Amino acid sequence: MNRLGNSQSPYLLQHADNPVDWWPWGEDAFAAARKRGVPVLLSVGYSSCHWCHVMAHESFQDEAVAAYLNEHFVAVKVDREERPDVDAVYMEAVQAATGQGGWPMTVFLTPDGEPFYFGTYFPPRARGGLPGFREVLEGVVGAWRERREEVGEVAARIVRELAERAGAYGGAAGSVGEGELTAALVGLTRAYDETHGGFGGAPKFPPSMALEFLLRHHARTGAEGALRMVRDTCEAMARGGIYDQLGGGFARYAVDRAWQVPHFEKMLYDNALLTRVYAHLWRATGSDLARRIALETADFMVAELGTAEGGFASALDADSDDGTGRGVEGAYYVWTPAQLAEELGAADGEFAAGYFGVTKEGNFEEGTSVLRLPQGNGVVDADRVAAVRERLLEARARRPRPGRDDKVVAAWNGLAIAALAETGAYFDRPDLVQAAVDAADLLVRVHLDVHGRLLRTSRDGTPGTNAGVLEDYGDVAEGFLALASVTGEGVWLDFAGLLLDTVLTRFTAPDGTLYDTADDAEALIRRPQDPTDNAVPSGWNAAAGALLSYAAHTGSERHRTTAERALGVVGALAARAPRFVGWGLAVAEAMLDGPREVAVVGAVGDPLTEELHRTALLAAAPGAVVAVGEEGAGEFPLLRGRPTRAGRAAAYVCRRFVCDAPTSDPRALRSHLRADD
């Protein structure tokens, strides 16, 4: 066993018995490289990454390749989910040098951490235009020995270029208003796939953050085109193979533009973000489909990703044993007509094949099919569908299961907390709200210290050692704020404030610029910073959203000003790259709408208090914040000085420093929270 055997990361532990003498990221590895006078091979991946597994099997488990690596390099393995800062700075270098990026990421560094050669996946032997990995290693060794000065110059130049980008996104870079949001809507409309929904071609990723922006834009302006794009995209994804038609939950992306064949790994963050989108779509339209998918995806998260300590695991692998001892992508999920008939009998097998689009030819590998709901499968017997689905789910459970990365990532648990709290409240599922509370409690107990500093990960209730980054603070604060609005427990507002104070003091420059790492974090070749959303909201935009909501709750000018300055970059990017600032655009919609502040004052357990509270939560006003409780009780500033009306519960709605008259009529409250109010 190499040096990874004591790691907490499941991904690093997968490499602990490689013949490669791996080091974890740290000064000890670079000191060893300096002492030996050899370059560093940095390999970055994550546990549910299919091609990471492929490269590990082909190269890192190969004795001859490992011996060559160990002789000529110090090899460092990084879990990008544990160290997003390390991943970010070197991925920026890879993308700048090659025009593309991805995982596994393979970077060759000087002993001072300066990159000089880059790549992603390398096959064991040259194919498809890619050099073989051994060939790459030998080429780097030759350059290191024979052209060391040139290598050093290349590395120094790359570091200088990266350093010049530091602070490029100033908080005063622009503004975001009606014009910018309209331009973003136009840009998304142009990129929209009218046939299949979503944006762009293959591979196609669930555009959860752009959909959230479109829902909020519709809520604020009434734009029907925005709502249509959300509705049609959500239906197409729900009917496609990207959605698990038996067990619920979404795969990471589809390899085709029609959402039919997924890359099968399931990530916590995708499912948290999409649960919220479908719940908000139901809130806007009353769609039965949106309700079903929101609840099934929430149930999937709890059942399949929930941990014994109350948190949520990071991911399920794409690969599983196909019954022959091989790890095969999608083996757990795909079917043939013969397998359906074997499990269900001839009649129900034929019915299931037609309903789920399973054919002899298949739409995946080796004649297998990914279950989906083809258009035009017509009106069917719902009871029969439910019975077939249940029997197939039981049969699938007997197959070897995909691996699970059970580390708890703070940011992604924050996203799950927000999604489960709101979904539970909308659909009268107190068990989902309790799951959100349990996850929040774990984050407070294990990840958060008394000074408001977060740790990025934990596993089995044991905290990791890596400091939280900006996305952790922003997403966890977002989750706590949603939980406060749903439960009426002001302690979650207090915890959000503690985190956001750290954002203001440790992650924010005087000009409003936000950085992904704290000012006292480990120094890398540059301090990472990125306002663009990717698979999850960027730390920049997540923090802006939480700061804006907290300001609405508390009246803090400092928090609102910081959020507004951060959103200036979103305004600058809105027209030319709206797909990559979706969460920032959603936050901007909340800012333009107010956001509205709703205080529901009344006795706990009083039916009128509960009805007013539910009405407030179901209002689609973008980013509205809700406080509920007795007058002056708890930690909610919005409840102070706001009495009941003649002994009856009352709701107060304020917006841009103007407050409506309090009302005890849920219909009047609903009217106050409409887009055109």
Q: What is the pLDDT of residues 422-444, one digit of tens each?
A: 999 999 999 999 999 999 999 99
Pairing of strands 597-601, 462-463: unpaired
pTM of the model: 0.95
- Which pLDDT score is estimated for 87? 95
Amino acid at residue number 296: E
Amino acid at residue number 277: V
Per the CB < 8 A criterion, the answer to whether 664 and 651 are in contact is: yes
- Which pLDDT score is estimated for 288? 96
- Which pLDDT score is estimated for 656? 79
Per the CB < 8 A criterion, the answer to whether 272 and 423 are in contact is: no
Alpha-carbon gap, residue 333 to 551, rounded angstroms: 45
Cβ neighbourhood burial of 318 (10 Å; 0-12, 13-18, 19+): buried
Output DSSP code: residue 122: -
Q: Which residue, among 596, 600, 615, has the nearest Cα to 650 in the 3D structure?
A: 600
- Which pLDDT score is estimated for 173? 57
CATH fold match for the domains 3-165 and 266-273+280-317+405-593: no
CA distances from 256 to 202, 214, 240 (A): 5, 23, 11
Cα 478 vs. chain centroid, distance in angstroms?
13
The CATH architecture one would assign to domain 266-273+280-317+405-593 is Alpha/alpha barrel (1.50)
For the chain, the domains span 3-165, 266-273+280-317+405-593, 333-398, 597-672
DSSP bridge partners of 109? 40, 115
- Answer whether the bond into residue 510 is a cis peptide, omega within 30°: no
Mean pLDDT, 10 residues at a time, the chain of 677 residues: 89 95 96 96 92 92 94 97 95 82 93 92 87 94 93 89 69 77 96 96 96 97 97 98 98 96 96 98 97 98 98 94 81 96 96 96 94 77 94 96 96 98 98 98 95 95 96 98 97 97 95 92 92 95 98 96 93 92 97 96 95 96 95 85 93 89 95 78
DSSP bridge partners of 514? 508
Q: What confidence tens digit (pLDDT) does each residue in 77-131 have?
A: 999 999 999 999 999 888 877 777 889 999 999 999 999 998 899 999 888 788 9
Alpha-carbon gap, residue 469 to 455, rounded angstroms: 8
Alpha-carbon gap, residue 360 to 23, rounded angstroms: 48
Q: Which residue, among 227, 359, 203, 351, has the nearest Cα to 281 in the 3D structure?
A: 227
- 93 token code pair: 């270098």
**Phi/psi at 16 (5° precision):** -70, -25
Amino acid at residue number 438: D
Per the CB < 8 A criterion, the answer to whether 106 and 140 are in contact is: no
Pick the CATH number of 3-165 from 2.40.160.20, 3.40.30.10, 2.115.10.20, 3.30.565.10: 3.40.30.10
Q: In residues, how long is the chain?
A: 677
- Which pLDDT score is estimated for 172? 47
